[in-house]
Amino acid sequence: MRVFQLIILCLCCFSMKAQQDSIVKQRLARNFVREGNELYASEKYADAAISYKKASVQASTYFKSAYNLGSALFAQKNYKEAIPQFELAATNTKNKLEKSMAYHNVGNAHLQEKEYSKAIEAYKKSLRNNPSDDETRYNLAFAREKLKQQQEDDKKNNPPPPSDYAKRMKKQADKLIESYQFEKALNLLDTALEKDPTVANYKDFMKKIESVIEIDKK
């Protein structure tokens, strides 16, 4: 019976010691965050980041240390490293407004990296936690527009493989070039491009013909 009581007493002492250690670490974390905030306000973002990292070491689940570290990294245009910090901040809080702020900044960082699909997903998460945030709603619309532009540019710069028609026109142009009929070859491909966008696969070839024509004119 006494042994049992002794074990219980030891367990209670251990629990109290763990709680005391946790309180001390939380205080240290808050101090480092305050220090980081002063440095951030002075635009010393690299030094601020160091203080926020120290805070995270003391209390890894402290929302402010992760969020502010993300902000300091973002201010240094270190978007790739800022993203996981904002994501960590979002998981370290149950407060919906804080979650919304963190995901909003995840979206902003992805936007800077031109990762528009990821930015859209982050803004959606932000709005789920704060549907009335107009700035996030605006950024979401902007990211969607940028994604649309990116996809259109990809189509232009990476056309589908040349069609059979495009290949035939290329062969005809090759034959014209063999007989030094460069302008006819270029006109042929220009006309073909109007009919078939896949002729764009031969744009570099067409530029070379243009260069030859310019040299001949000189």
CA torsion 42-43-45-49 (nearest 10°) is 30
Tens of pLDDT, residue by residue over 27-55, are: 877 887 888 889 889 899 899 888 888 88
Residue 12 resides in a domain: no
Residue 20 resides in a domain: no
Domain count, the chain: 2
Which is more confidently placed, 17 or 201?
A: 201
Q: What is the pLDDT of residue 9?
A: 56
Same domain, 110 and 45: yes
Q: What is the pLDDT of residue 10?
A: 56
Mean pLDDT for the chain overall: 85
CA of residue 53 relative to chain centroid, distance: 22
Same domain, 153 and 50: yes
Phi/psi-derived region of residue 77, left when phi > 0, alpha when psi is between -120 and 50, beta in every other case:
left
Same domain, 106 and 126: yes
Tens of pLDDT, residue by residue over 161-198, are: 889 998 999 999 899 889 888 899 889 989 988 888 88
Residues sharing a CB contact under 8 Å with residue 68, sequence separation 6 or more, in sequence order: 33, 36, 37, 40, 48, 52, 55
Q: What is the pLDDT of residue 21?
A: 46
Which is more confidently placed, 48 or 21?
A: 48
Is the pLDDT confidence value at 69 over 80?
A: yes
